[in-house]
Amino acid sequence: MTLDERIHQPTRLRIMAALAALAPETEVEFTTLRDLLGLTDGNLSTHLLRLEKAGYIRVRKAFVVRKPRTFLALTPYGRAAFERYRAQLVALLSGQFPLPADSPPGDRDSCDERGGPP
């Protein structure tokens, strides 16, 4: 199992989690997300660009009372990617994942019931 590296980076994970908490197709303003996550404009912009290039978020620019505003939302593809990531992370943390093919034989057998060495 490989976690999606585009989401797994801590700041992008926080962005995706915040957007996933919204109802589908709901947008949040850039400044609201920036303040919620405690990020700088530049840091948030860099991570949003990476998520946008992956097709995970939609960025919409508009003028509101003659001021430029940026609105963000998860795309359906991004919502599905986040749900996959979340399910994989839960499985990983629950110990419900296969060992990689290159794991030494007996890795599971060499642990006691606490999961540590015998």
Assigned token pair, 54: 């992956």
Q: What is the pLDDT of residues 22-48, one digit of tens each?
A: 999 899 999 999 999 999 999 999 999
In a domain, 51, yes or no: yes
In a domain, 111, yes or no: no
Across the strands, what pairs with 57?
A: 74
Per the structure, how many domains does the chain have? Answer: 1
Contacts (Cβ under 8 Å, ≥6 apart) of 90: none
Characterize the bridge pairing of strands 67-74 and 57-64: antiparallel
In a domain, 76, yes or no: yes
Q: Per-residue confidence at 96, pLDDT binned at 50, 70, 90?
A: confident
- Taking the CB of residue 118, how many other CB atoms lie within 10 A of it? 8
In a domain, 78, yes or no: yes
pLDDT at 114: 46
Domain that holds residue 85: 5-93
64 Rama sector, left if φ>0, alpha if ψ -120 to 50, beta otherwise: beta
Q: What is the pLDDT of residues 41-88, one digit of tens each?
A: 999 999 999 999 999 999 999 998 999 999 999 999 999 999 999 999
In a domain, 98, yes or no: no
